[in-house]
Structure 1
Amino acid sequence: MNGDFARRLAALRRAAGYASAREFYKAVDGRRTLGCTYAQYLNVEAGRSVPKAALARKALALLSLQPDDPRCRGAVTAYLEAALKDGAFLELVRQVYSAPPGAGDAPLRRALDESARARRVQLSQSQVDAVEGDETAYWCFQVFCNDPGGWDARALSRLLGYGVPALRRALARLSAAGVIREHEKGVYRIFAPGKSFTCPREDFHVPKTLARWLRRLKTPPGPGPRVEMYRSLVLRASAARLKQYSPFLAESVAGAGLYAESRGGEDTGLYVVEGVVRRLLDF
């Protein structure tokens, strides 16, 4: 039931100089200090039961584990995995407590939150399916939700490089789902100009979907997509510890939203800002 925590607890007990669980229990007067019988403690070390939080905390304290000791971090994480029985929630806990102190009150975070609340519109599942399920419709949607003006198939063809017939089909697909509206013959606008869009699923516009269509994006003759900013770092790291970087990565990517423009200008373009961490190999 708590295999990893049990193994770590037993290893910590041995490292502290106690050869057996019984020796440790007797030395610390376990019934009084741990608040359990020896049989109950042995069940914990044997992995047969998940202890209450108070017992786990007292055992680690009696083994002289300090909060900043990596072994303590490992034991606490193993305990939470056993107690919560929900890897996704544990990952949320990691991200919440590894976020920069006071990040929720930072000016950037406040500006992003206020902007997002004012502009947020939720798409229906059928609208999401219409956008994500077709390559041409996906890129049309990106144009429409970043520009409040009207677009027809020929204008989109000049911008995106797809054929007019394919674009007319994509426009019909998006229109049928209510994502865009025809405001004059053949010319469409997004149904909620100036808004940002969320979805009933948590994986809307996940990198997998974007990457699939990004690789196949057709653009008119010219330089095509190009990298304008790039930073990289190659390092060996623990997968579990590196996940604590996630809030910082998310904050950095989300911050680019402050620079979004709703009107075209002499140097505007359609950008994708990605935050990607790739595991290259086991090492």
Structure 2
Amino acid sequence: MKVVVVDGGGLMGVETALCVRDHGHEVALVQAPGDPHAPLSDEVAEALRGCSVLVDLAHQPSVDIGTLAEDHGLVVDEAALVDSWAGSTGALLRAGAAAGVRHHVCLSVVGVDRIGREGVFRALRNREAMARRSGIPYSILRATQTFDAAEDIATAATEDWIVWVPPAEVRPVSLTDVATLLAHTAVTRPVNGVREIAGPEQFRLDAFVRTALLTEAEYRQVRTDALSPFYGARLRPRDLLPGPDAFIARTTYREWFTGRPAPDTTS
């Protein structure tokens, strides 16, 4: 079976592709289209030839979804983001259908069903709806924030050297654990619904970010503010927590932190 992983160039795509290969299947990792309204590249079209499963990791919350302003943090144009992601998602779905793809796997974010009317979650919710309406058997995997994402979350929330983070509860998860479940989902039958994955420990988002920024090279201070947006969305305390049926990964934050490369403090 051939699996195509479409990614924006991050580690999630690489690790997912490696896990699919470990399952004994052919896999191709391709770059997501840069222009959402342009035809798919020859690379993507060629990769989809003979493809059975398409894994779409292309659009996730990051500082790239908006404009960073020194005194406002990340500013998100919701309408433009929805339009952009809908364009590229629609192109992938149409190309997948034309190529005979039998399973479309979409990575999303835990909480999109509760806060899907604001910020990045509005665009994520629309992507999920497009997968459901496509006519292709599908699986949606919603993940909590990865351990690696703390720095990006901090950058998006920085205003004048202060990181303003809401005190929402989170269960951050290892990127490797998410990639492992993505690969397993890709090589098994479509669920035609939603699965969730979360980490084994629960923290407040502000405490999670504060802990992640405890390095000698870090100059910013983390402050708690319930009204501060999270990638353009206002959060209630439990909006980012998974449901009772979520798959709970094993890797703890301490295990991940101990195993990661030491930060470069020489620059």
TM-score tier after normalising by the smaller chain length: under 0.3
**Greater share of residues in strand:** 2
**Greater share of residues in helix:** 1
Where relative contact order (Cα < 8 A, 6+ residues apart) is larger, the structure is 2
TM-score by length of 2: 0.23
